[in-house]
A = this chain, B = another copy of it.
Amino acid sequence: MSTIGIGLAGFGTVGAGVYKNLAANRELLSQRAGVDMEIKRIAVRDPSKPRDISLPAGTTTDNWQEVVDDPEVQVVVELMGGMDSARALFERAIRAGKPVVTGNKALIAEHGLDLFKLAAEHRVPIFYEAAAAGGIPIIKAMRESFVGNHILRMVGIINGTSNFILTRMTELGETYQEALAEAQRLGYAEADPTLDVNGWDAGHKAVILASLAYGFWVAAQDIFVEGIESITAEDIRFAHLLGYHVKHLAVIQAESREQVEVRVHPAFIPNGHVLASVNGVFNAVMVEGDVVGETLFYGRGAGQDPTASAVLADMAEAAATVDGLKRRCLGFTPHQLYGRCKPIDEVVCQFYLRLDVVDQPGTLAQVANVLGSHQIGISSVIQPESHDADSVPLVLMIHDARTGDMNKARATIEALPCVKSVAALIRVENSANE
């Protein structure tokens, strides 16, 4: 297996997340991707700054050009943010024939057209999954999975900070200022939250998504962007009264084949709408295509790890490109960390158990005895009144039980004289809860 050298330009929150997660999951990643990745060079703002992560000696530099120029670096990952240096890095990497991975949404939204043109001229691939909706693979879906669809509409919640603030205002009745302060306290909003709350973080993402959907580069100045700063607790109360939630949405749609709407603004959406239940820092993007119909993608749109997940995927794809895409499309790549399916008898579940029982005293005690003798606990019991004197339902919610034990207990219960039948035994997936 080849090892592809990676250069990391920028070691802030996301850069450190990429480093940390690559270190943790490198073996898995290389098995799956068919190519190994090693970070050879890292540009940091201040190499002398103490860090939680100890970087190998000689790896760091305060000059991003050294990262791009390092002959061992074959893929450049731009996580510096900002505009001028990031753009210069892009151009330098492309001219050197090195694929670029970035999460810099402002750079792509403002200069994507030029950068992609340069990349196409030099036939150098560039990847930017992390530039929109963090861990949600919406860029790949738009570029590849919906390639056969005219996109009719996209509606998304694509700024986690705004959504967190609106969720607090809705659920806790906080004012905008209170909710913003809480977002800052939790690290969901920057000290300067301007780009989040004035809508332009979402605006840049909307530029990227609209461009992918409609095939011409949408200029940032041509879209309509409004933030959440002027949303008041009073409007949220009226929304509630009228049956709506207030969300900050990006709406991208084409009603004709001539022009498209791209607008980013707060909006009332009906309570029953699927986006109304997207809360906190989560993002979601609804995509409607003429072939696929309605789809929805949901996940964490920002933060160290979700963004790192997107960067790692792009790095693997870029590395595979450098390596000649040797294994990418071969259907299934064993990675052998887990070797077997757990036999169902050993699987622990909660259960709903419905019995038809004889309506007589002591029945519940007998059933509970059987369950207890198999170390199975009961979390609740319902025994509704029955009009059928002969037979009544007895419903038990069962704590975690090994399936094998549950089946043995079931057989014993079925044989009790007071039990006419085991009418239903259905698993309960509380564990899958949000």
Contact = CB atoms under 8 A, between A and B. Distances in A.
Given A148-B308, A148-B312, A337-B215, A424 B230 contact: yes
Interface stretch (A175-183, A250-258, A363-371): A250-258
A402 interface: no
A331 to B, nearest CB: 4
A270 B214 CA distance: 39
A39 interface: no
B147 A137 contact: no
B395 A238 contact: yes
A432 B155 contact: yes
A21 B249 contact: no
A284 to B, nearest CB: 8
B342 A112 contact: no
A401 interface: no
A150 B25 contact: yes
A168 to B, nearest CB: 18
B266 A293 contact: no
Determine the interface band of chain A, counting residues with CB < 8 A from chain B. 35 or more
A434 interface: yes
Nearest to A303: B293
A149 interface: yes
A299 B309 contact: no
A140 interface: yes
A97 B127 CA distance: 29
Copies of the polypeptide in the assembly:
2
A250 to B, nearest CB: 11
A351 to B, nearest CB: 9
A334 interface: yes
Contacts of A340: 216, 222, 258-260
B293 A329 contact: no
A235 B396 CA distance: 12
A33 B136 CA distance: 22
Nearest to A37: B148
Interface stretch (A50-58, A76-84, A273-281, A408-416): A273-281
A339 interface: yes
B331 A126 contact: yes
Contacts of A426: 231, 235, 246, 265-268
A375 interface: no
A427 B215 contact: no
Contacts of A294: 299-300, 434
A292 interface: yes
Interface stretch (A1-9, A61-69, A113-121, A192-200): A113-121
A342 B259 contact: yes
Interface in A292-339: 292-300, 303, 305-306, 308-310, 312-313, 315-318, 321, 325-339
A216 B347 contact: no
B140 A145 contact: yes
Contacts of A31: 215
A96 interface: no
| Closest 10 pairs (CB-CB, A-B) | A148-B312, A125-B329, A215-B335, A137-B145, A295-B299, A292-B309, A135-B292, A224-B344, A296-B298, A222-B341
29 contacts: A21-B291, A28-B148, A28-B150, A29-B147, A32-B143, A112-B331, A116-B330, A125-B328, A125-B329, A125-B331, A126-B330, A140-B140, A144-B316, A146-B309, A214-B337, A219-B341, A235-B426, A249-B429, A259-B340, A260-B342, A261-B347, A262-B341, A267-B429, A270-B433, A291-B306, A294-B299, A295-B298, A298-B298, A318-B329
